[in-house]
């Protein structure tokens, strides 16, 4: 699909030079750049959601479960040696 965009002249010159160095058209360069930027934003959003999920401190029940798991793991390792 064709579209028109406005760019600073210096940026357009740099884009043309970069496209030439890469051996691709200016349109392909812009497509690659937009794809990468969208992927970056999507990944950042995922990381931010994960950070919010894991930012909460564990509840007392969760701490007891983890402590029990660690204890069981230690005894399993100790018995194996």
Instruction: Note the pLDDT tens digit of each residue in 36-60.
Output: 999 999 999 999 999 888 887 888 8
**pTM reported for the whole predicted model:** 0.61
State pLDDT tens for residues 59-70. 889 889 999 998
Which of left, alpha, beta for 23 (phi over 0: left; psi -120 to 50: alpha)?
A: left
The pLDDT value given to residue 54: 84
- The torsion defined by the Cα of 30, 33, 39 and 41, in degrees rounded to 10, comes to -100
């Amino acid at each position: 699909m064709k579209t028109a965009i406005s760019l600073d002249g210096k940026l357009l010159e740099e884009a043309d030079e970069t496209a030439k160095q890469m051996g691709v058209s200016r349109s392909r360069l812009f497509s690659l750049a937009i794809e990468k930027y969208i992927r970056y934003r999507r990944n950042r959003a995922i990381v931010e959601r994960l950070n919010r999920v894991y930012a909460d401190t564990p509840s007392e029940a969760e701490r007891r479960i983890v402590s029990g798991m660690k204890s069981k793991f230690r005894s399993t390792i100790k018995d194996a040696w």
